[in-house]
């Protein structure tokens, strides 16, 4: 301890830090080498994850777009069809038929009111009555 050089080493902090770092250098090098070796080992044996069975987002986006277009198209076409029909000019044809007299119209209305079966339903009544007559004749024989 009488050596003056020993006192300088302990009193100068920079020299003390360099000496401590020099003693730790081999340990830090070993730690770095082991970290690199471990990373290399795991990188070599890494298992690549299989492809996900889920449908990618782009496929879902395309499917939703097609669904939206499929639903909206009939509405758009119907709107255009209705607009085209409404915008079509209506041709007014002049009345060429002879005017029916008031007495003839009243007579037709009166006939319709007094009839037991309306005119459009007359074919139904004739076929029904024919079937009833045929059925009655078969049952009586």
Note the pLDDT tens digit of each residue in 121-134: 777 666 555 555 55
Q: Are 85 and 93 in contact (CB under 8 A)?
A: no
Among 141, 114, 116, which Cα is nearest to 129's?
A: 116
DSSP code per residue over the chain: ---HHHHHHHH-HHHHHHHHHHHHHHHHHHHHHHHHHHHHHHHHTPPPPPPPSSPPHHHHHHHHHHHHHHHHHHHHHHHHHHHHHHHSPPPPPPP-SPPPPHHHHHHHHHHHHH-SS-GGGHHHHHHHHHHHHHHHHHHH-
Q: Is residue 140 part of a domain?
A: no
Indicate whether 89 belongs to any domain: no
pLDDT tens digits, one per residue of 70-104: 999 988 888 766 665 655 555 565 555 567 788 88
In a domain, 91, yes or no: no
Question: What distance in Å separates the CA atoms of residue 80 and residue 78, rounded to the nearest whole number?
Answer: 5
Identify whether 3 is part of a domain: yes
Residue 2 within any structural domain of the chain:
yes
pLDDT at 107 over 50: yes
pTM: 0.26
Does residue 24 lie within any of the structural domains?
A: yes
CA distance 50 to 52: 6
- Domain contains 105: no
Is there a domain that residue 78 lies in? Answer: no
How many domains is the chain built from?
Answer: 1
Per the structure, the complete domain to which residue 2 belongs is given by 1-44
């Amino acid at each position: 301890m009488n050596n003056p050089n020993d006192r300088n080493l302990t009193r100068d902090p920079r020299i003390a830090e360099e000496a401590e770092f020099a003693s730790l250098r081999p340990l830090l090098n070993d730690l770095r080498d082991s970290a690199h070796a471990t990373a290399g080992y795991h990188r070599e044996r890494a298992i690549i994850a299989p492809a996900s069975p889920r449908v990618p987002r782009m496929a879902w986006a395309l499917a939703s777009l097609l669904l939206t277009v499929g639903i909206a198209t009939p509405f758009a076409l119907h709107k255009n069809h209705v607009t085209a029909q409404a915008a079509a000019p209506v041709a007014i044809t002049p009345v060429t038929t002879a005017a029916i007299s008031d007495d003839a119209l009243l007579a037709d209305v009166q006939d319709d009111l007094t009839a037991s079966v309306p005119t459009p339903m007359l074919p139904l009544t004739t076929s029904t009555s024919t079937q009833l007559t045929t059925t009655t004749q078969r049952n009586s024989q």
